Amino acid sequence: MWVMKENTEILFVIEEAPEGGYIARGVGADIFTEADTLDELRANVREAVECHFDEGNQPRLVRLHFVRDEVLNV
């Protein structure tokens, strides 16, 4: 299990799922979750972080980085 020092944060990359909704992947930790709405995703990310880390090793902050691809015809 990945151990973090106190007062740190964890980064999640958020992408839109091809079938709808959102996918969240932890950077530097093997955490993955998904949801249909952003509110559900935020709750799922919090729950996943709480389940992944032992008490006392949980990050204080979770940063969500939204990535969106857009293709334009020229």
pTM recorded for the entire structure: 0.81
Domain 9-67 CATH assignment equals 3.30.2390: yes
Please state the separation of Cα 7 from the chain's center in Å: 18
**What tens digit of pLDDT does each residue of 11-67 get?**
999 999 999 999 999 998 899 999 999 999 999 999 999 999 988 888 989 999 999
The model's confidence at residue 73, banded by pLDDT at 50, 70 and 90, is: very high
3-class DSSP assignment, residue 66: strand
State the burial class of residue 67 (Cβ atoms within 10 Å of its Cβ: 0-12, 13-18, 19+).
Answer: exposed
Domain residue limits, the chain: 9-67
State the Cα torsion 3-17-15-9 to the nearest 10°.
-20
